Structure 1
């Protein structure tokens, strides 16, 4: 069988256009220059950490509130599936496995994104990053965690599961491998073949 955890942004969902649009509108509303291209080039960390690059700490909570008010109507409709995402989730479910999405995105917007994309998942854990994803992965009983960021490799390590990295975000395959990923895929179009070969021995562990 083999239940699996997935990251969301740039793993299952291409959120770049939508997030850039929200940041552009946020910049206009609060009167602060934000380079949205730079932001989307390093997607992964939670919103508060990214905003710390542009705003003093005391201004971040208000900016978060504006950002989140814009996200459902601006970012979600502009989100698309990453190549192979639906097939990857379907491969796990077809084998009798369960799927959890564990993401730095807040739970409400994560759920909206997953629903908009029509992905069938069993659970969503949001507002966690790096090793802080570990407890959700462990509690769910996943045997592998899939992500595009080096922090997702740390997440898999913290959860005690196989780290599957996809080179679809900021980090190329070599960087992901050097950081200790157990498996490196070009993108999720390669996932089903890997999973089908891995899941039988994994289920026996």
Structure 2
């Protein structure tokens, strides 16, 4: 994997996508229902949306045999723009969190396990304008992208996001708005756990007071 490293006068803050910036459960559920109907394979879509975060192939493995997973991933991604985009909404405080970073002269980037073209469709549909969207990465893989982008903070809702922040040497900000509880995120090593992103601008203001850009 290769990423372009970009520096900025303010901090670069990475954000996870599903259940951090966006509540994609309605759209993802609709997409899985359609996939189930097209393939004739039973999928409990209500269960699927309770464990968002890991790569799509891992979820596919619960419903399809190994030799069909790659094809089902491709089909799901093909269906996604028609079934999952319009049903998705921004999480409370998501826009304000990104705006706080950019208003401070920093960069707000999205680093997600979601297929990158679909992640970008979500941002466009919701009118959100991150400085970069990097997809197809999970847990420690996210750490590589965060490090290449010079991110000093990574915000996410999953234990995998905490692991990604640790690999990058970034400050781990967690929100218990996804499948993981505040206690689980704390135990995983999150540096701070906020109630949700509505608390981020206040936290970020205090963080900025102590932030010092790294030397080139």
Q: Where does 1:127-146 land on structure 2 (aligned, <5 Å)? A: 127-146=136-155
C-alpha deviation, 1:145, in angstroms: 0.2
Q: Distance in 1 between matches of 2:106 and 2:69?
A: 39
Between the aligned partners of 1:58 and 1:204, the Cα distance in structure 2 is 48
Deviation at 1:10, TM superposition (A): 0.2
Question: Given the alignment of the two structures, is residue 149 of structure 1 paired with residue 128 of structure 2, yes or no?
Answer: no
Match of 2:201 in 1: 192
2:14 paired residue among 5, 30, 44: 5
Q: What are the superposed Cα offsets for residues 117-169 of structure 1, whole Å, 9 maximum, x if unpaired?
A: 11111111111101111111011111100000010000000111000000100
Structure 1 partner of 2:104: 95
Is 1:21 paired with 2:63? no
The structure with the greater share of residues assigned to helix is 1
Query: Are 2:156 and 2:162, in contact at CA under 8 Å, matched by a contact in 1?
Result: yes
Q: Is the 8 A contact 1:143 1:202 kept in 2?
A: no
- The answer on 1:107 being equivalent to 2:116 is yes
Partner of 2:110: helix, strand, or coil?
A: strand
Partner of 2:91: 82
User: Matches of 1:124 and 1:50 in 2, distance apart?
Assistant: 23
Distance 1:186 1:35 in 2: 29
1:119 aligns with 2:128: yes
Q: Give structure 2 stretches of 5+ with no counterpart.
A: 1-9
TM-score by length of 1: 0.98
Deviation, structure 1 residue 204: 5.0
Quick one: distance in 2 between partners of 1:76 and 1:107?
A: 13
- Is the 1:153–1:181 Cα contact (8 Å) retained in structure 2? yes
Cα drift, residue 55 of structure 1: 0.8
Q: Which runs of 5+ in 1 are unaligned?
A: none
Indicate the residue corresponding to 1:46 in structure 2.
Answer: 55
Q: Offset of 1:200 from its aligned partner?
A: 2.5
Q: TM-score, normalised by structure 2?
A: 0.93
Post-superposition, which runs of at least 4 consecutive aligned residues in structure 1 deviate over 4 A?
none
Secondary structure of the equivalent of 1:5? strand
Q: 8 Å contact 2:11–2:213 — kept in the other structure?
A: no
